[in-house]
Amino acid sequence: MKSAVSIIFFLVVGLLTAILFGFRSELWTTEKPYDELQEGMKERIVIKFSHVVAENTPKGLAAEKFVQTVKEKTNDRVEVQVFPNGILYSDNNEFEALQRGDVQMIAPAFSKLSNISSQYLIFDLPYAFPDQVSIHEAFDGPIGEILFHSIEKQNVKQLAFWSNGFKQMSSDKQPLLTPKDFKGHTFRIMSSKAIESQMNLLGAKSVVMPFTEVYGNIKSGIVNAQENTFSNIYTKQLYQVQSHVTISNHAYLGYAVLVNEDFWNSLEPELRDQIEEAMLETSYWNRVKAIAMNDQQQKLLEEKTNISIYELTPEQKEEWVRTLQPVYDQFHSIIGDELMGMIKKNHNE
């Protein structure tokens, strides 16, 4: 009797042990308990972001803001590394570097993208956009949508528009107040056929060159004039090599923020959403910041440098508008009826 009780006791204990350990080992194999080491093994994703301007510019600061916002939104899973001032790639080779995936993000000026998608020339048409409101409407509306699509099929994807500001004309020779003042100037320009045509109409010569070479090439006399925003003129210290700036606001300098498409598609959908959220926040921040920075850097130029700044009279501006009008006919068919129709209302106002 006693031995029967012991046998039953051992059988019950054995069974309970088997159930307990069997069950737990199943837990171990299906649901891994939280463990920090396991968490740390999740792949850290690095986005290399290359651009050509200084850090204290609208694009430079937006890139830094994006670094922080991505870090927060992705819980530190994605690290954006920014390479400013063309230290990795310059205007000549950054697009190809992006296509190859050597960097994952760039933010070139619209003019520089016009060789890939000629529809970006819309922003180079003189006085096509009269103010910031019309620029933001373009970014957020059908113009922006067309431009987003126009860059597809290049293994790049556009994530946003970023702002800098309206461009001004500068010279080391004399004030540029009427079209005849442009004679005898050689302008550094971005690679855009519409800007080239604009300079021809004004009677100036032009040379395309990367932004990183502008200062040196003005200094050595290869060019003696250029067009850019107050922010770029100030932060690149172009006031040291240019003596006159005209507030012409003749065209807008903005950026298409691009990501390598293969890289983008390789990300988990959740991470893509988080990066897009970060991009949206950064882009709205950049809009406000860009306006403030250009105002502030214009003031710094006025107060802290010897450069002379001129405003155009309404009559002088009218003469610029008239002289540059042929650019519209020259580029209408290249840009296309649809986009050209969309900026018409800006002109009739």
Interacting residues toward ligand LMR by CB under 6 A: 52-53, 59, 109, 164, 190, 211, 228, 232, 253
Report the residue number, 94 or 267, with the smaller CB distance to ligand LMR. 94
Q: How far is the CB of 330 from ligand LMR (least distance, A)?
A: 22
β-sheet bridge partners, residue 78: 45
Residue that is written with structure tokens 């080239």 in the block: 196
Report the residue number, 228 or 274, with the smaller CB distance to ligand LMR. 228
Q: What is the spatial distance between Cα 287 and Cα 281, in angstroms, rounded to a whole number? A: 10
| 58-73 and 269-304 helices, crossing angle to 10° | 150
Report the residue number, 103 or 190, with the smaller CB distance to ligand LMR. 190
Q: How far is the CB of 191 from ligand LMR (least distance, A)?
A: 9
Q: What is the spatial distance between Cα 107 and Cα 161, in angstroms, rounded to a whole number? A: 9
Going by C-alpha positions, the residue among 164, 305, 190 that lies closest to residue 242 is 305
Q: How far is the CB of 190 from ligand LMR (least distance, A)?
A: 5
Q: Which amino acid is at 70?
A: V
Q: Which two tokens stand for residue 283?
A: 């882009």
Report the residue number, 74 or 228, with the smaller CB distance to ligand LMR. 228
Report the residue number, 74 or 231, with the smaller CB distance to ligand LMR. 231
CA–chain centroid gap for 138, Å, is 15
Q: How far is the CB of 109 from ligand LMR (least distance, A)?
A: 3
Q: Which two tokens stand for residue 201?
A: 């109409």
Q: How far is the CB of 265 from ligand LMR (least distance, A)?
A: 27
Report the residue number, 45 or 301, with the smaller CB distance to ligand LMR. 301
Q: How far is the CB of 101 from ligand LMR (least distance, A)?
A: 21
Q: How far is the CB of 53 from ligand LMR (least distance, A)?
A: 5
Report the residue number, 74 or 206, with the smaller CB distance to ligand LMR. 206
Q: What is the spatial distance between Cα 37 and Cα 177, in angstroms, rounded to a whole number? A: 66
Report the residue number, 127 or 230, with the smaller CB distance to ligand LMR. 230
Q: How far is the CB of 320 from ligand LMR (least distance, A)?
A: 20
Report the residue number, 166 or 271, with the smaller CB distance to ligand LMR. 166
Q: What is the spatial distance between Cα 138 and Cα 134, in angstroms, rounded to a whole number? A: 6
Contact 196, 321 (CB under 8 A): no
Q: How far is the CB of 148 from ligand LMR (least distance, A)?
A: 19
